[in-house]
Amino acid sequence: MFNLNEFLKDLVVAQDDEELIRASDVVEANLIIAGNDKYLARQLFFGVSGAMERQLEYVGGTLLPMQENKLQRMNSQGVMGESYVMDSWFGESNNDDPHTNDEIPYDQVIDNQRTFIDEIKQRMRTAAIIFVTNVRAHDDLSKAIVPQQLSYGAIKAKAASNRQARQASTG
């Protein structure tokens, strides 16, 4: 199962990383666009953070494992070949006919799958950088607003607690 906190802990991003610089620039641009309205900017950062969190959970927990399993299946050697096709009481088979395959060569299909998995991992890295920069911006604004507002993590924890309380009372 995908664990976002573990993924973020394992992610290595240098301060001069191009994606980090771009994500930080977008945060700064959003602050300028929001003007002096800290509540508006804070909500913007919360929304982007939530969207990236959900994207990471889907891609890391569903899409990437599915694609890695698909690649593993593609690389595995099966036991069934064409030897099961034989002449029998219902007629002759076509196993002597030349096999025509107009599709993409199998090696290329496997290569394409590996490339897709690499793209997914890059997407996760980018989403994580966007997530972290926006959570930090949200939390910085939360501290700057008087009275101090809840951090991103505290909001998520409170929402989870409220959901549990509702479920306990209804069912």
What does the pLDDT look like over 9-49, one tens digit per residue?
999 999 999 999 999 999 999 999 999 899 999 999 999 99
pLDDT at 75: 87
Q: Kindly state whether residue 124 falls inside one of the protein's structural domains.
A: yes
- Mean predicted confidence (pLDDT) in 44-62: 98
pTM for the whole structure: 0.83
Q: Kindly state whether residue 65 falls inside one of the protein's structural domains.
A: yes
Q: Kindly state whether residue 69 falls inside one of the protein's structural domains.
A: yes
pLDDT at 101: 58
Q: Kindly state whether residue 88 falls inside one of the protein's structural domains.
A: no
3-state helix, strand, coil in the chain (%, to 5): 70, 0, 25
- In angstroms, the Cα distances linking 76 to 70, 103, 148 are 10, 20, 56
Q: Residue holding tokens 């036991």?
A: 79
Any residues with CB less than 8 A from the CB of 75 and at least 6 apart, and which?
110
Write down the mean pLDDT value for the chain: 90
In this structure, is the dihedral angle defined by the CA atoms of residues 27, 29, 33 and 35, taken in order, positive or negative? positive
Range of the domain at 35: 4-75+105-170
Q: Kindly state whether residue 96 falls inside one of the protein's structural domains.
A: no
Q: Kindly state whether residue 21 falls inside one of the protein's structural domains.
A: yes
Q: Model confidence at 127, in pLDDT bands (50, 70, 90)?
A: very high
Alpha-carbon distance of 38 to 138, in angstroms, equals 9
Q: Model confidence at 91, in pLDDT bands (50, 70, 90)?
A: low
Number of domains the chain contains? 1
Q: Kindly state whether residue 60 falls inside one of the protein's structural domains.
A: yes
Predicted confidence (pLDDT) at residue 129 exceeds the cutoff of 50:
yes
pLDDT at 102: 57
Q: Kindly state whether residue 56 falls inside one of the protein's structural domains.
A: yes
